[in-house]
Amino acid sequence: MAVTALKSSARPATRDVSAWERLKVNRNWLGLWFMLPAAAFLVLFLAYPLGLGVWLSFTDAKIGRSGIFVGYENYEWLWDDSIFWLSVFNTLLYTLVASTIKFAVGLYLALLLNENLPFKAILRAIVLIPFIVPTVLSAIAFWWIYDSQFSIVSWTLRHLGFISGNIDFLGDPWNARWSVIFANIWRGVPFVAITLLAGLQTVSPSLYEAATIDGASSWQRFRYITYPLLTPIIAVVMTFSVLFTFTDFQLIWVLTRGGPVNATHLMATLSYQRAIIGGQLGEGAAIATAMIPFLLAAILISWFGLQRRKWQQGESND
């Protein structure tokens, strides 16, 4: 900059530096150009599809045919649609219960795996298995486990004499809900456990040593050392976990397709059924768009949580 400034001042005073000349050497201008490829990617693959989805929800588009703008009509219709509200309820229940249990079990597993166990490496690898298996595969396995006639669970209990008839896992609304939640938990625990384990490994052993010397019980060590130091990673893990669970699709689609009588329809599956299978693209897009506020709320909670030092470093340290 200094060099160019010198140069321009050496030129005849009659010729002013044009705005273009100045722009050419402006670092911010250059920076803008370097950012463009990344911005183009984001716009093309994130903003455009999202915008298109939201736009579609204001039209009566069908598959293979662009629709006309209908304003809030899709939303008004959904507002009175009992199946839509049922799917909202199912989604919230599914997310809340599954995420909570995944967190509890995941944290427990992580603490366990952090101890000095024999065959530690193998055990850690085994824990990851449910996460590695493709969702559709594990969903098909659960489909057999929950089968109304050939369930291994029913079979075993029947042969042990605990029950007389088969358990109707996926045929009864509440059984079906708990069954799909269980399958989701089975699948999601390893992610939580392994990530929290990674967090646990960053806690310095000297802190525990100091606490032990001070006579802290194991609960106190967890409560006042492990937990506060783990909160940032908990916030990240739970954000992801909630997002994955909220937008789950494959598991439900393979196991129940939203049945029985829509008792397990999540917003994602209902959106797919209406938009792609039923061809009502606009209405399906409206259901998908209705998920955005919930997802934003989940992200914001953890975002603000991450910003707060209290969350990161324990209480009374604002």
**Interaction site with other proteins (CB under 8 A):** 62-66, 77, 80-83, 146-150, 165-166, 168-173, 176, 256-263, 273-274, 276-280
Q: Which residues are registered as beta bridge partners of 69?
A: 59
Give the distance, in angstroms, between the CA of residue 234 and the centroid of all CA atoms in the same chain.
Answer: 13
Whether residue 166 contacts residue 149, with contact meaning beta carbons closer than 8 Å, is answered with yes
Nearer to other proteins, 260 or 314 (CB): 260
Q: How far is the CB of 282 from other proteins (least distance, A)?
A: 11
Q: How far is the CB of 24 from other proteins (least distance, A)?
A: 43
Q: Which residues, including other chains, have CB under 8 Å from residue 29's CB and lie 6 or more apart?
A: 23
Q: How far is the CB of 87 from other proteins (least distance, A)?
A: 13
Helix axes 82-114, 227-246, angle to 10 degrees: 140
The span from the CA of 293 to the CA of 286, in Å, is 12
Nearer to other proteins, 242 or 275 (CB): 275
Q: How far is the CB of 288 from other proteins (least distance, A)?
A: 16
Nearer to other proteins, 56 or 110 (CB): 56
Nearer to other proteins, 82 or 206 (CB): 82
| Residue 95 token pair | 């997310």
> Given CA atoms 234, 240, 243, 246 in this order, what sign does their dihedral have?
negative
Task: Tell me the residue type at 226.
Answer: T
Nearer to other proteins, 100 or 166 (CB): 166
> Given CA atoms 294, 297, 299, 301 in this order, what sign does their dihedral have?
negative
Q: How far is the CB of 49 from other proteins (least distance, A)?
A: 16
